[in-house]
Amino acid sequence: MSYVELNDIRVSYDNKTDILKDLNLSIEKGELVSLLGPSGCGKTTTLRVIAGLIEPNDGEFLVDNQNLTKVPVHKREFGMVFQSYALFPHLTIKENVAFGLKLRKEKKNSIDKKVKDILEITGLEALSDRYPKQLSGGQRQRVALARALVIEPKLLLLDEPLSNLDAKLRLSMRIEIKRIQSQLGITSVFVTHDQEECFSISDKVAVMNKGVIEQFDTPEEIYKNPKTEFVARFIGFENFFDLTPTEDWKYKAVDGTVFLSNRDWEPGKQTGTIRPDDIEIAANTTQQTTNMVSGVIKVRTFLGKSYQYEVETSIGTLIANKADDVVYQVGDAVTLSIPAHKLIIV
Amino acid sequence: MRKNISLKIFAGLVFAFLLVPLFIIIVTSFGTNSTIQFPIQGFTLDWYSKVFNNESFMDSFLLSLQVAFIATLLALVIGVPAAYSLARHKVFGRNWIKSFFLSPTIVPGLVVGYSMYQFIVIKFQFPIIQGLLLGHFLICLPYIIRVVGSTIEQLDFSIEEVSWTLGCTKLQTFIKVVLPNITSGIFASFMLAFINSFNNIPVSQFLSGPGVSMLPTSLMNYIEYNYDPSVSALSVILMLGTIVLMFVIEKTLGLASIS
């Protein structure tokens, strides 16, 4: 039994289309789990079900073996950080942070101490008497985080907390969030559509699409071994081609080229995929062996550290990146080799 | 540059058009002649003392203040929660209800007054004061719902959600988070509704009865039979009151927040 359990959660607003379809998710204590997916995939809905802001039509939600499915949001004791920060405009930073503690009728000096500690951890002591509108985006974000953390929540929920910040700040804030989260050892759910952000911060990632979790794994696993075509596409695989599994644990492409893959051979899977960076490109050779296709360069794009080539081959158009040590021209005939250990079958 | 000058002249004319009549009223209130005349002959403050000694003016002034104040307060008590529900919940026929609440500001005042007369006085035979309160409450309500409603719609809904996650019930959230952030809207709607109720003639006219009249009504009755500068004096007093009110609003909230 995991610390957090979502069992067969179904959410539908009109009872015709499901926003979430029998979603299952288990989170261990102290983990930071990300929900990653394009907009409309159901990641925010999942977070709001966890928070109690949406009641699921079916399924149950447990934390620490307690069934919280019907428990209203104000009794769940989870901290939540919103995309818009949602600071109370009429309260100072200190009062914003103390808001949750005052409701719990704690003693004044205990409140003061907790507020002081969390403001210290989040580096906000100097700003404690200011109002939210006097703060920058990054500072507001830290206040929102402090306010959610100070109540010592059983779960910390973060809804795209970095998406309103500029690129530089986003980078430092995500390091900050990770630091605070692991320092306090607090179980967290993080919603994002940014894969880099998500991989760098998470212990585990759930990639979501159309209301279902396509894959739930560590960031490394997802990056190296996507299980479905959707996941592969979402994390940067750009080449997809049809493959037919053959009896001898190999695959055959439409033009008859034989491919080998280091991944487990499964009869049902029939699409090969590889990242543009992993394709090796060389001048045309007549010698055709396994995992090699020839083609002609159609488009060349300069990417800075490398060139990107669109190569028309007998198994379809493939995209390959190559450093600028050898530069090919449009119209050149080349041979692409697709290493067996980089070829993913989905 | 030329354009600038003609613009200035135009703006000056508009101001003159707006302010000269008021200026004339102020001046005439000090005239010694027993009818309103401009320019005035002599200078006196008698008309002011006459206003304060006129029982019908003073009674109707106090009544108007009381009715406007109580009716606006009642409208706030009903209107603020109504505005909140309309803004936050998927109320069935929300847009229809909103238009309905706006209707007293669109329907001609005379029609509103007459229909209230039909119901409040003829059909249900309310006592006069209660009837006046009810009528003024009804003409105040639209202002409250519209102004407070638009303030609530501008408020980020996630601050309420965050307050729930921090342990507030919905009612506590409304009191601790929503209300403090819509005070300027509440104050503005209060002022609008109050001034509207205070100035309203048709509803007051139809709903008042023997021995009970509101200030605009008694002012009109007075002008019908007496054309003396005490009317100007009363107008000046009302203007001063409004200026003081505006000054207070400016000092506490800033006029920009209510316009």
| Least trusted range by pLDDT, from A3-7, A336-340, B163-167 | A336-340
Confidence band, pLDDT 50/70/90 cuts, at residue A79: very high
- Say whether B180 and A82 touch across the interface (CB within 8 A): no
Same domain, yes or no: A180 and A314: no
pLDDT above 90 (res B91): no
Rounded to 5 degrees, what are φ and ψ at A241? -145, 150
Which positions in chain A touch B172 (Cβ < 8 Å)?
A: 103
Q: How far apart are CA A164 and CA A81, in angstroms?
A: 13
pLDDT above 70 (res B255): no
Say which CATH number the domain at A281 has.
2.40.50.140
Residue A90 buriedness (CB in 10 A; 0-12 / 13-18 / 19+): middle
Select from B159, B169, B172 the Cβ nearest to the Cβ of A88: B159
- pLDDT for res B176: 94
Confidence band, pLDDT 50/70/90 cuts, at residue B256: low
CATH of B48-258, one of 3.40.640.10, 1.10.3720.10, 1.10.10.10, 1.20.1090.10: 1.10.3720.10
For A223-257, what is each residue's pLDDT tens digit?
Answer: 999 999 999 999 989 999 998 888 888 888 888 88
Same domain, yes or no: A114 and A205: yes
- pLDDT for res B1: 55
Same domain, yes or no: A302 and A243: yes
pLDDT above 70 (res A21): yes
DSSP of A4-71: EEEEEEEE-SSSSS-SEEEEEEEE-TT-EEEEE-STTSSHHHHHHHHHTSS--SEEEEEETTEE-TTS
User: Is A243 among the domain residues?
Assistant: yes
Same domain, yes or no: A248 and A134: no
Sorted by sequence, the CB contacts under 8 Å of residue A235 that are 6+ apart come out as A195, A207, A222, A223, A226
- pLDDT for res A346: 85
Portion 57-116 of A in contact with B at CB < 8 A: 73-80, 82-84, 86-90, 99-100, 103-104
Select from A78, A84, A87 the Cβ nearest to the Cβ of B165: A78
> Which range is most confident: A1-10, A164-173, B240-249?
A1-10
DSSP of B173-241: HIIIIIHHHSHHHHHHHHHHHHHHHHH--HHHHHH-BTTB--HHHHHHHHHHH--STHHHHHHHHHHHH
B172–chain A nearest CA distance, Å = 10
Same domain, yes or no: A67 and A18: yes
Same domain, yes or no: A16 and A100: yes
Averaged pLDDT, A276-301: 86
Sign of CA dihedral A230, A235, A238, A243: negative
pTM for this predicted structure: 0.80
Out of A194, A224, A254, pick the residue that ends a domain: A224
- pLDDT for res A287: 67
Averaged pLDDT, A117-131: 91
Same domain, yes or no: A275 and A165: no
Confidence band, pLDDT 50/70/90 cuts, at residue B77: very high
User: Is A230 among the domain residues?
Assistant: no
Assess contact for B50 and B222: CB atoms under 8 A: no
Assess contact for B216 and B201: CB atoms under 8 A: yes
For A248-283, what is each residue's pLDDT tens digit?
Answer: 888 888 888 889 888 877 777 689 999 999 999 988
Q: What's the DSSP call for residue A242?
A: E
Say which CATH number the domain at A124 has.
3.40.50.300
Rounded to the nearest 5 degrees, what angle is found at the Cα of A43, between the Cα atoms of A37 and A46? 160
For B114-133, what is each residue's pLDDT tens digit?
Answer: 988 888 888 888 888 899 99
Assess contact for B204 and B132: CB atoms under 8 A: yes
Looking at chain B, the number of H-run helices and the number of E-run strands are: 13, 0
Averaged pLDDT, B156-174: 94
User: Is A231 among the domain residues?
Assistant: no
Range of the domain at A266: 239-345
Same domain, yes or no: A184 and A269: no
Same domain, yes or no: A130 and A48: yes
Assess contact for A186 and A153: CB atoms under 8 A: yes
How does the average pLDDT of chain A come out, rounded? 91
B182 → chain A, closest CA residue: A90
Assess contact for B71 and B198: CB atoms under 8 A: no
pLDDT above 50 (res B259): no
Interface pTM, i.e. ipTM:
0.83
pLDDT above 50 (res B97): yes
Out of A190, A224, A258, pick the residue that ends a domain: A224
User: Is A133 among the domain residues?
Assistant: yes
Rounded to the nearest 5 degrees, what angle is found at the Cα of A325, between the Cα atoms of A319 and A331? 50
Averaged pLDDT, A205-209: 95
Out of A224, A257, A279, pick the residue that ends a domain: A224
Q: Is A309 on the interface with B (CB under 8 A)?
A: no
- pLDDT for res B2: 63
Same domain, yes or no: A56 and A203: yes
B153: tokens are 């719609």
3-class SS of residue A185: coil
Q: How far apart are CA B135 and CA B127, in angstroms?
A: 12
Same domain, yes or no: A148 and A184: yes
B3 vs B75, more confident: B75
- pLDDT for res A290: 85
Cβ pairs bridging A and B (under 8 Å): 60
User: Is A234 among the domain residues?
Assistant: no
